[in-house]
Structure 1
């Protein structure tokens, strides 16, 4: 087995109740945010510039704020705010000019990293599906919980693995249909006529729907 295959094999074994790829990205997000505030990263001139120039999204600013390293966060924020002040000063100098130079805004550094990691893991999964024809069958539970984002990306990139993709689509179709039925029953339960009826599997239907829809939030 190739070394790069191992994280996905482990994810599909451990995280059967949600999208395994989302779970990997979630773990890498936490590690990356913590590393951004470490001394060796902040002392790297190239990385320090990147941190200063990025436009951290609101979500990742909150995640960084929840980090244990407040000193690292303060240094990163100083770099970021200082850069933005410099941009404002440059813009103010060109206000009287007819053609103002547009200042390009960098996207969130963490979101960019996660997009790259997401694409990497999807391509590795495609390699696994090509080399291991039984992978879908062995991990049907994990595949049945792929989020819409990763299911869509897999379908879009699949070339030589049509039979595996067909299996994955069927697995997800069953899960999605069950989620719809459970949501429908959840809604029905709010009708007083069904007050005494059991909830069945509908109590967590909203949480399952959010996981289904919430994959690939980084953009």
Structure 2
């Protein structure tokens, strides 16, 4: 299949020597989203209205802080805090704490203030920006697998996936693929995931065994970087 513009990021990710190409795609999107947010866009009214309303998750506000554009982040957080203060002042003026019974559900009769804070704590401009594109990347993986023999070979020879992204690919396959491609995809996905999880598990075991004085003079084999690779497999964290 001739490479199209929308397939380039997927093919590029599967060409990277890593334990999860989907993590690689997500990492690239995250870096782009951080750069976009801290670039000239933060002065645009429509972008600022959105960041004022929903703010950022703890993880991404730390990433924004590391970007070093401290003035930009200060301006963004200042107007976001102004919006939050204004919204909560209005809600608090008319809200009364609800006394809940011993067996009442947590969401039962939740106050507007509680709902507002809950929504705010689970919203993030960066996450939303990433997720809008990331879902299309996952759809492209299925598309490439169905129509591109070269990609199927690349997929089958990959180092597998982290558990989170394995689950996402496994769960989404029945809606994206049909006919013979669906069971073929699932079989290949399962094989590359389990084979490579066991490979990294063995590497990690030898990494721990190397701390035994009896193995001090034995070769490290492929275990020197087993710990960060294991963190990638289990927690979707790319080695830095």
The alpha-carbon deviation at position 206 of structure 1 amounts to 0.9
In structure 1, the residue matched to 2:199 is 178
1:206 is paired with a residue whose SS is helix
1:164 aligned to 172, 180, 185, which one?
A: 185
The alpha-carbon deviation at position 41 of structure 1 amounts to 4.2
* In 2: Cα distance, 1:25 partner to 1:195 partner: 38
Relative to the length of structure 2, the TM-score reads 0.78
- Report if aligned partners of 2:41, 2:47 keep a CA contact under 8 Å in 1: no
Larger displacement relative to structure 2 (203-212 or 50-59): 50-59
Residues matched between the structures, number:
214
- Report if aligned partners of 1:147, 1:214 keep a CA contact under 8 Å in 2: yes
2:170 aligned to 152, 155, 176, which one?
A: 155
Q: Does 1:78 align with 2:93?
A: no
In structure 2, the residue matched to 1:191 is 212
* In 2: Cα distance, 1:7 partner to 1:31 partner: 13
2:7 aligned to 5, 11, 26, which one?
A: 5
In structure 2, the residue matched to 1:50 is 50
Q: Does 1:62 align with 2:62?
A: yes
The alpha-carbon deviation at position 148 of structure 1 amounts to 1.6
Q: Which runs of 5+ in 2 are unaligned?
A: 99-108
- Report if aligned partners of 1:133, 1:164 keep a CA contact under 8 Å in 2: no
Q: Deviations over 1:73-97 (max 9, x none)?
A: 2221111111222233234323557
1:158 is paired with a residue whose SS is helix
The alpha-carbon deviation at position 127 of structure 1 amounts to 0.7
Q: Deviations over 1:32-56 (max 9, x none)?
A: 1221233344322x32121012241
In structure 1, the residue matched to 2:38 is 37
Relative to the length of structure 1, the TM-score reads 0.84
The alpha-carbon deviation at position 169 of structure 1 amounts to 2.1
* In 1: Cα distance, 2:198 partner to 2:40 partner: 49
